């Protein structure tokens, strides 16, 4: 039985999903915790309700639907392209409005025409929200993680720093903290003397053994999501990366990029101008961006309501390209959030790469907006 009341407009929502050829699926409320801990992102990880089964395996209350829907698709060995819709409860700690609430959405799996799929999913989200909030002026914020990654790569930073910055995309406070460390490197502090000594010696096997012994002695190993080898590798990487410095000119270029905020109609020209001025070749990332803008216009989406922000991302680690949010003009409340997650399916066990894009609707917030 539902723990909270289902929004009264859910029948309209399900009719919208059916009209957009998205097959309704359900997933268990109790989910394996590992996929969420590994790839959902820090913001979601710290909000998960954790438990375990009789064998000690980590489980959690369903905190979102994208990972469960993708797992279900893989387990059912269904072919692609495939569109799924869902509507049900999710659970997150310390959330405004309560820890239990309803989400609904569409996951679009397997369409190799990336631009068309991106445009279709944004069109679906705008169309459904317009149906639920008739007469309200919507505002769409769009970002592109692939463009950000291309800029970071063009700066010539080591791969470790590229990964750090990419993971921080969508969390401006974390991103600014990392950039501060790049401009003014700081030595790694707070390490156990023996760990520091082993790191400096380069004896990785001895470091792994020491971490393993410490974890066993403290009982931490029974709850750890990282192995001793993973921890040792991360410590070594942290030490090496702490010595890297981003020069002032490169930092200024990155700051200039992150400050870009323009209507989508002007975004392609703004990005091309930035790349030319910086001497960057952003090739495929810009081509995909331009293709998406054209596909949105061809799909009949009113792109005058869309704003591009170069620094905009969403705090889930599995996004790879398009990211977007939708709200009502003049309000800060996010009613819809979504994006592209092309690497998620193979990470979860799919035998081949499956391009994927989708969105979620926050039904309690939409209900509040309707009441307003």
Of 86, 115, 118, nearest in space to 360 by CA? 86
31 annotated to a ligand binding site: no
Residue 287, pLDDT > 70, answer yes
282-306 average pLDDT score: 95
The verdict on whether residue 237 carries a ligand-binding annotation is: no
CA distance 43 to 40: 8
pLDDT score of 186: 55
Kindly report the CATH class assigned to 10-150+259-371.
Answer: alpha beta
Is 103 marked within a binding site?
Answer: yes
- Whether 92 has a binding-site annotation, put simply, is yes
Angle at 130 between CA 305 and CA 137, to 5 degrees: 40
Tally the C-alpha atoms within 13 A of residue 214's C-alpha that lie toward its C-beta: 14
| Residue count of the chain | 372
pLDDT in tens, 156-202: 888 878 888 888 898 888 888 888 888 775 555 556 667 666 666 66
96 annotated as a binding-site residue: no
> What pLDDT was estimated at residue 191?
63
265 annotated to a ligand binding site: no
Asked whether residue 326 carries a pLDDT value surpassing 60, the answer given is yes
Residue 131, marked binder: no
Q: Is 346 assigned a ligand-binding role in the annotation? A: no
Q: Kindly report the pTM of this predicted structure.
A: 0.83
Better-predicted residue by pLDDT, 161 or 10 = 10
Would you say residue 77 has pLDDT above 70? yes
* Annotated domain spans of the chain: 10-150+259-371, 193-241
Q: Which of 35-39, 43-47, 79-83, 329-333 has the lowest mean pLDDT?
A: 43-47
The CA distance from 159 to 167, in Å, is 12
Flag whether 257 is marked binding.
Answer: no
Residue 336 has pLDDT above 70, yes or no: yes
């Amino acid at each position: 039985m539902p723990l909270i009341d289902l929004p009264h407009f859910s029948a309209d929502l399900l009719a919208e999903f059916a009209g957009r050829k998205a097959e309704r699926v359900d997933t268990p409320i109790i989910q394996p915790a590992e996929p969420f801990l590994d790839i959902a992102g820090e913001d979601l990880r710290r909000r998960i309700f954790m438990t375990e089964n009789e064998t000690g395996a980590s489980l959690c209350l369903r905190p979102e639907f994208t990972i469960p829907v993708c797992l279900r698709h893989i387990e059912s060995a269904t072919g692609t392209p495939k569109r799924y819709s869902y509507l049900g409860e999710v659970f997150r700690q310390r959330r405004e409005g309560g820890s239990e609430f309803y989400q609904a959405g569409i996951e679009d799996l397997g369409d190799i025409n990336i631009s068309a799929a991106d445009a279709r999913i944004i069109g679906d989200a705008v169309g459904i929200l317009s149906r639920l909030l008739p007469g309200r002026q919507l505002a769409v914020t769009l970002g592109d993680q692939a463009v950000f990654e291309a800029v970071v790569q063009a700066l010539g930073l080591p791969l470790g720093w590229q990964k750090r910055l990419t993971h921080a995309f969508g969390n401006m406070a974390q991103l600014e903290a990392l950039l501060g460390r790049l401009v003014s490197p700081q030595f790694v502090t707070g390490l156990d003397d023996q760990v520091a000594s082993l790191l400096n010696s380069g004896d990785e096997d001895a470091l792994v053994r020491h971490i393993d012994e410490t974890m066993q002695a403290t009982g931490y190993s029974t709850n750890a999501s990282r192995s001793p080898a993973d921890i040792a590798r991360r410590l070594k990487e942290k030490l090496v990366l702490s010595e890297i410095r981003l020069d002032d000119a490169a930092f200024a270029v990155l700051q200039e990029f992150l400050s870009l905020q323009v209507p989508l109609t002007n975004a392609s020209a703004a990005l091309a101008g930035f790349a030319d001025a910086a001497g960057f070749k952003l090739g495929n990332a810009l081509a995909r961006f331009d293709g998406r803008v054209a596909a949105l216009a061809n799909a009949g989406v009113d792109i005058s309501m869309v704003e591009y922000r170069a620094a905009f991302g969403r705090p889930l680690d599995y996004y790879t390209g398009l990211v977007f949010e939708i709200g009502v003009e003049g309000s800060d409340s996010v009613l819809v959030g979504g994006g592209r997650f092309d690497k998620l399916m193979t990470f979860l066990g799919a035998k081949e790469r499956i391009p994927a894009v989708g969105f979620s609707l926050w039904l309690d917030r939409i209900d509040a907006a309707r009441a307003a």
